[in-house]
């Protein structure tokens, strides 16, 4: 009975907000607003987000999950630009420390486990934040993420990377 902003709920939270943005239905906004408030009240710990028991709101697992990478982009599009940038900076600190984003990172024991090079959700968050608010901090983080994956692993990251690079080039002109 645990919940967080990462595994198993990430698509719901992201698509709930996107549904309202795309279709403007008031019920989607109401559900999003209630959910966002609960996340901020119970799951936020500084710039990090923990997993909590759904019945009590008590912490059940103080861990970063790679699937939380989308969250700063959603926060930025919601208008929480500074909080989004702070959260993205914290997520990015793991990339700087390890050269990748670990699948899970224990915030209390300060340790990581289960390495999967291939979860690049944070790049999408940079794209969302950059498109909406033109945040230079997200541009720099996104460029480092893209270049280190491309050069270090030799993996093409797909559509979002090309959109991101196109927007950065257009913005720089």
Report pLDDT for 130. Answer: 53
CB of 50 within 8 A of CB of 11?
no
Buried b (16+ CB within 10 A) or exposed e, 120-153: bbbbbbbbbbbbbbebebbbebbeebbeebeeee
Q: What is the mean predicted confidence (pLDDT) over 34-51?
A: 93
Token pair, residue 79, equals: 């208008």
pLDDT band at residue 115 using 50, 70 and 90 as cut-offs = very low
Whether pTM > 0.75 for this model: the answer is no
User: Looking at the DSSP assignment, which residues form a beta bridge with residue 44?
Assistant: 49
DSSP 69: G
Instruction: Report the candidate in 46, 47, 41 with the shortest Cα–Cα distance to residue 3.
Output: 41
Domain 2-172 classified CATH 1.50.10.10?
yes
Q: What does the pLDDT look like over 139-169, one tens digit per residue?
A: 666 667 666 666 655 555 555 556 666 666 6
Find where tokens 């340790």 sit: 111
Buried b (16+ CB within 10 A) or exposed e, 101-115: bbbbbebeeeebeee
CB of 91 within 8 A of CB of 64?
yes
Dist CA 55 CA 53 (whole Å): 6
């Amino acid at each position: 009975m645990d919940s967080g902003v990462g595994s198993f709920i990430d698509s719901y939270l992201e698509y709930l907000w996107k549904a309202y943005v795309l279709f403007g239905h008031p019920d989607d906004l109401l559900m999003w607003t209630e959910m966002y408030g609960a996340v901020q009240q119970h799951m936020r710990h500084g710039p990090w987000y923990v997993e909590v028991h759904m019945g009590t709101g008590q912490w059940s697992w103080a861990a970063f999950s790679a699937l939380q990478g989308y969250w700063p982009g959603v926060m930025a599009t919601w208008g929480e630009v500074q909080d989004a940038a702070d959260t993205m900076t914290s997520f990015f600190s793991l990339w700087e420390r390890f050269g990748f984003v670990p699948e899970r990172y224990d915030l209390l024991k300060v340790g990581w486990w289960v390495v999967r090079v291939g979860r690049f959700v944070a790049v999408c968050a940079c794209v969302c934040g950059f498109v909406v608010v033109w945040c230079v901090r997200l541009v720099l983080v996104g460029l480092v993420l893209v270049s280190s994956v491309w050069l270090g692993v030799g993996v093409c990251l797909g559509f979002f990377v090309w959109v991101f690079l196109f927007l950065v080039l257009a913005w720089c002109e």
